[in-house]
Amino acid sequence: MRPRIAPLDLSSDLDRLARLYSAVFAEPPWNAGPDEMADFMRRLPTEARAGAGGFGAWSTDELIGFAYAVPTPTPFPAGRAYDRVAQVTDVDRLVGCWEVMELAVDPAQRGRGVASALLDALLDEYSPAWLLTATDAPAVQFYDRRSDFRRTGQGEGLVVYASTYPAASGV
């Protein structure tokens, strides 16, 4: 049974998002611990107020995946992974695009099309977009197979992708 994909209220679904984030990103290569979890919980309300939008994948009433994006501001941000992104790609082409901040699927639900459905919904609403992932993340193979994303940079332990949807002609 395919999950129901629906808009996600980043402000009111914090507990569900936190549980799923913890389950997904505690695994290698991220190995997120309490500090990363606290950072996620601090960032989410701020990102929601900054215009973030996203979608959840639901199996009955259980959140089994989520994806959300935020507008990339001018100037391009610094700190976190942004400094490394700036080392491997032309960030001027990313400013004004949507940054896919998270794409997370319950490990027990992987391989069932949940990530594809979430990313399709996200790109239909928030495009052009870009994202980054760790070079050793299983998601690299997923993004490399998609025809709507292309690598725009790699190095510093990460891979940067940008959408190639028609709206992304400048990306």
105-136, pLDDT tens digit by residue? 999 999 999 999 999 999 999 999 999 999 99
What is the average pLDDT score of the chain? 91
pLDDT at residue 4, rounded to an integer: 96
pLDDT at residue 142, rounded to an integer: 95
Torsion of CA 143, 163, 121, 3, to 10 degrees: 0
Quick check: 87 pLDDT over 50?
yes
Name the token pair of 36: 């990363």
The residue extents of the domains of the chain are 4-168
Q: What percent of the chain has pLDDT over 70?
A: 95
pTM, two decimal places: 0.91
Cα-Cα-Cα-Cα dihedral sign, residues 45, 132, 62, 53: positive
Burial (CB count <10 Å: 0-12, 13-18, 19+), residue 34 = exposed
Between residues 165 and 99, the one the model is more confident about: 99
Q: Give the H or E element holding residue 158.
A: strand 158-163
Residues in contact with 4: Cβ distance below 8 Å, sequence separation at least 6, in sequence order: 57, 58, 59
Quick check: 171 pLDDT over 60?
no
Asked if the 4-168 domain carries CATH number 3.40.630.30, the reply is yes
Least confident of 7-16, 18-27, 144-153, 160-169: 160-169
pLDDT at residue 167, rounded to an integer: 46
Confidence of residue 168 (pLDDT cuts 50, 70, 90): very low
Quick check: 9 pLDDT over 60?
yes
pLDDT at residue 165, rounded to an integer: 54
Provide mean pLDDT across the span 54-68.
Answer: 95
